[in-house]
A and B are shown apart, each in its own frame.
Chain A
């Protein structure tokens, strides 16, 4: 050892890597003082074909799905829309999400009145996929309102997150919570390029259940993030068009002929508190 002074550090590193690797292979989740002990990703490094990190896997799935690049989506030719089986039943629509719901709910309410649906807006300020996943919120709301159709507007608070692995899990959990109910996810109206949340939602939902709001242009209120009422209405119109023409679950969603001004009583919560 005296001739090889570095060996002590090599053993230290080998020991550390071994401990972390072995722990990454365990199936059980361990908690300490109420905190979940996270596992390293050494398991992925040692598992062939599973070593790509989130961004790579997202990119691969994107190219594999042939999803159009930003901007291309709106340029899809109208005649590409084949005759679609529109569900003409009256729906109980749960419009849930973060503060962005507030902008969308007025015009979407008019759409619902026009087409005989019932709208239940839920604004959970400052919420994220983490909040909805961990609090089992979507399932709770679906049950509460007996919803038959879910429009989830979520992701604006996650544009700059870096823990994409976790977000992936949260999105999957939310998807599980929908439990067979028709469910579409409206992506966030980006005001800056995100770190990958839109790609993750797309990866999990597929292009017929995810609306890429980031491709639209918005006028924003003074915070620079939330669209103005006028812009929110434009956004809502585009969402409605997409639901009817491109989404997996098209419903009767004709443009309202007038402003119904139905009094809305959204359920409001604040995740920050």
Chain B
């Protein structure tokens, strides 16, 4: 069950009908939402809902032990046990075959792969659980009063499948308190949902078909087509992911829960450090708070405080953090390469900021070059991320560099007119000034409900039209 499916639309409509009568009765509301969330998870992951429930129970108990015990060693042991249990669960489901594969290659072993299914959203709820335990261990958070509140926090259906990664400190006070839903919450929540549907269900979906085609066999296409696929995927991944986040945040808002934005126009970043402050914010801040900063402090504490020790600490912490960030995205070497590449980019960026004088950094030309380099870096790194493997990524980039011919632009447009228009409109929307986006949103919010209904039906109909309008396949013969 995904947000843009007809089944979800129907199920959510029925859910919301009853929710509108129970949202201000705390206990009833929480039980009702938990039931729907578990049903939602069951529909997406089947029997693996047991893994989710198991994770909830174990983490809840460990959280209580960490908080209530007076024995320092037991406290520390419980915390480490909790982290270990979460990491092992994630490693088992997500990385066991990846480990087997690499062991076989490196050590020449002949271990068989495990026939295993990855429970959807496990990376997200595991990270939420780790942050919950860590915050309790750091005494920044008290555990939930009862297991139902914790179950609500972990299993909340808008974010259980694909984030954002919400912190307990952000969500638990809202779960515990009486909710006030006003007209503004409803209007802005619904506009967020519509925005997400446009991004994910229409633009990202249509563009993805072209990218799937090219990255299915990059050598079968020209350098120009690979170049467009590189741009296309850069657009697609942003629209798809931020669209999903918009829907999740919009659904939560509609239900009276406020979740922080997960994206902030990342392709407008002035440098790579800035990019990571705007891209998948819930993950990047999680990595910062629970991995990067502890590693950084660890290095600083153990260093001899010689010249550049702060930069060395940054390099040490960034290298490990971005390696793990890459691995978090998937069990494949290409994600590790992607993450490590970003780590290297961040280190170069930080070194530049650390060593070049502020006065020079402020030069307009250098700032402009910085923006261009950033977007180029991001484009190239997405090729590695998207291609089936590193060889395909290399082939695609090789074709872009050595086989690019601008003369393909007219025949390409003639052959793929609709796709070209979709891509162009998407790029314009991505780079639209924020003020204009806010204005469009406020105009939409102020529309009468029946106009919104018509717009919504048109949106769903456009999705139906788009999702059956497939991209024309192999056209290389044309050139």
Contact = CB atoms under 8 A, between A and B. Distances in A.
A and B assemble together: yes
Interface of A: 4-17, 19-20, 35, 37-42, 45, 98-99, 125-126, 128, 130, 156-163, 165-166, 191-192, 222-225, 270-273
Given A45-B6, A45-B7, 20 more contacts: A6-B186, A9-B16, A13-B9, A20-B6, A38-B468, A40-B6, A99-B474, A126-B472, A156-B474, A160-B209, A160-B216, A161-B209, A161-B470, A162-B209, A162-B467, A191-B217, A224-B217, A270-B477, A272-B474, A273-B478
Nearest to A24: B6
Interface in B1-42: 6-7, 9-10, 12-13, 16-17, 19-21, 23
A192 B217 contact: yes
Contacts of B53: none
Nearest to B219: A224
Interface in B441-479: 449, 452-453, 456-457, 460-461, 464-465, 467-470, 472-478
B190 interface: yes
B415 interface: yes
Given A9-B254, A270-B477, A40 B216 contact: no
A6 B213 contact: no
Contacts of B21: 4
A158 B226 CA distance: 19
A54 B130 CA distance: 39
A158 B38 CA distance: 36
A40 B185 CA distance: 29
Interface string B177-194: 000011101100010000
Nearest to B11: A45
A160 B467 contact: no
B476 A223 contact: yes
Contacts of A157: 473-474
B16 A162 contact: no
A10 B20 contact: yes
A13 to B, nearest CB: 4
26 contacts: A5-B182, A6-B20, A10-B20, A11-B449, A12-B452, A14-B13, A16-B9, A16-B453, A16-B457, A20-B6, A38-B464, A38-B465, A45-B10, A99-B474, A125-B474, A126-B475, A126-B478, A156-B474, A157-B474, A159-B216, A161-B209, A191-B217, A224-B220, A272-B415, A272-B475, A273-B478
B212 interface: yes
A159 B209 CA distance: 11
Nearest to B185: A5
B453 A15 contact: yes
Interface of B: 6-7, 9-10, 12-13, 16-17, 19-21, 23, 181-183, 185-186, 190, 209, 212-213, 216-220, 254, 388, 415, 449, 452-453, 456-457, 460-461, 464-465, 467-470, 472-478
A99 B478 CA distance: 12
Contacts of B216: 159-160, 191-192
B181 to A, nearest CB: 5
A31 to B, nearest CB: 12
A122 B333 CA distance: 43
Given A45-B7, A222-B219, A272 B477 contact: yes
A7 B349 CA distance: 50
B97 to A, nearest CB: 16
The 6 residue pairs across chains A and B that have the minimum distance between CB atoms: A157-B473, A6-B20, A223-B220, A13-B13, A272-B475, A224-B219
Given A99-B477, A160-B209, A42 B10 contact: yes
Given A9-B186, A16-B453, A126-B472, A160 B212 contact: yes
